[in-house]
């Protein structure tokens, strides 16, 4: 079962796809798809590329935080393998709602963060001008996150970035996904849930 964000590649498509920021209905759709995957014993593969869930008033009125929480809970409780790939930007709860996986992979030049550097700088120093300092402190790169145990594997990108050689980047991502699913396929549903739980409880404990 493939689930993912679509951000767009130019102004027109980014506006069409809301810059990859999902509404509550998007997360509820994801939950329905995860339920189907578990029913038919299909692994779940999620592609993450979002600055976060859509923060508009209408989304909040329709239960954005509740939808994110339920999606995160369902991802954690699935009895089938779950593999997530950060393919561009993984921001806040909007990303973790689809990335509470057995294996979290990340393209080499992607970022994965609890909040944008600009937002974090505004909170910590009351100035978005310190975004670079915030980004450094938050350790949002693939190398830092691998060392911290937040992600499991870095997928190398072609020289200049994945967009320069898309077919090569896609093939490398495919190999990493297949390897991860093969590694997880021998685990029972209860073992998969335990694996996922222990993975997230372990983050930061070995530092």
What mean pLDDT comes out for the span 9-26? 91
Asked if residues 139 and 7 have their Cβ atoms less than 8 Å apart, the reply is no
> Which residue in 206, 160, 204, 181 sits closest to 80, CA to CA?
181
What mean pLDDT comes out for the span 165-176? 90
Asked if residues 34 and 44 have their Cβ atoms less than 8 Å apart, the reply is yes
Q: Contacts by 122-129 with C-beta closer than 8 Å and gap 24+?
A: none
Asked if residues 51 and 20 have their Cβ atoms less than 8 Å apart, the reply is yes
- The pLDDT tens digits for 79-113 are 999 999 999 889 888 899 999 999 999 999 999 99
Is 70 exceeded by the pLDDT of residue 206? no
Question: For residue 23, is it left (φ>0), alpha (ψ between -120 and 50) or beta?
Answer: beta
Asked if residues 150 and 56 have their Cβ atoms less than 8 Å apart, the reply is no
> Which residue in 116, 11, 123 sits closest to 55, CA to CA?
116
pLDDT at 46: 96
Which CATH number describes the domain made up of 2-202? 3.90.226.10
pLDDT at 35: 97
DSSP one-letter code for 198: H
Structure tokens at 194: 């335990």
Is 90 exceeded by the pLDDT of residue 119? no
**Chain centroid, CA 173 distance in Å:** 14
What mean pLDDT comes out for the span 134-150? 89
Helix (H) or strand (E) holding 180: helix 166-184
Global pTM?
A: 0.88
Taking all residues of the chain, what is their mean pLDDT, rounded to a whole number? 91
Please state, for a pLDDT cut of 90, what percent of the chain lies above it.
Answer: 60
């Amino acid at each position: 079962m493939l689930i993912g964000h679509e951000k767009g590649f130019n102004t027109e498509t980014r506006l069409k796809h809301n810059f990859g920021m999902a509404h509550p209905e998007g997360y509820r759709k994801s939950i329905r798809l995860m339920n189907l995957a578990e029913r038919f014993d299909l692994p779940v593969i999620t592609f993450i590329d979002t600055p976060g869930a859509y923060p508009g008033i209408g989304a909040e009125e329709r239960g954005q935080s509740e939808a994110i929480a339920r999606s995160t809970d369902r991802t954690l409780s699935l009895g089938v393998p779950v593999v997530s790939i950060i393919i561009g930007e993984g921001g806040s709860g909007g990303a973790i709602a689809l990335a509470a996986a057995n294996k979290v992979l990340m393209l080499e030049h992607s970022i994965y963060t609890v909040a944008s550097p600009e937002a974090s700088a505004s909170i910590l120093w009351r100035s978005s001008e310190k975004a670079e300092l915030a980004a450094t402190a938050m350790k949002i790169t693939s190398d830092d996150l691998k060392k911290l145990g937040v992600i499991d594997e870095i997928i190398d990108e072609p020289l200049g970035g994945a967009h320069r050689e898309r077919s090569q980047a896609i093939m490398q991502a495919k190999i990493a996904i297949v390897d991860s699913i093969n590694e997880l396929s021998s685990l029972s549903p209860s073992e998969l849930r335990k694996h996922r739980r222990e993975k997230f409880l372990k983050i930061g404990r070995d530092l």
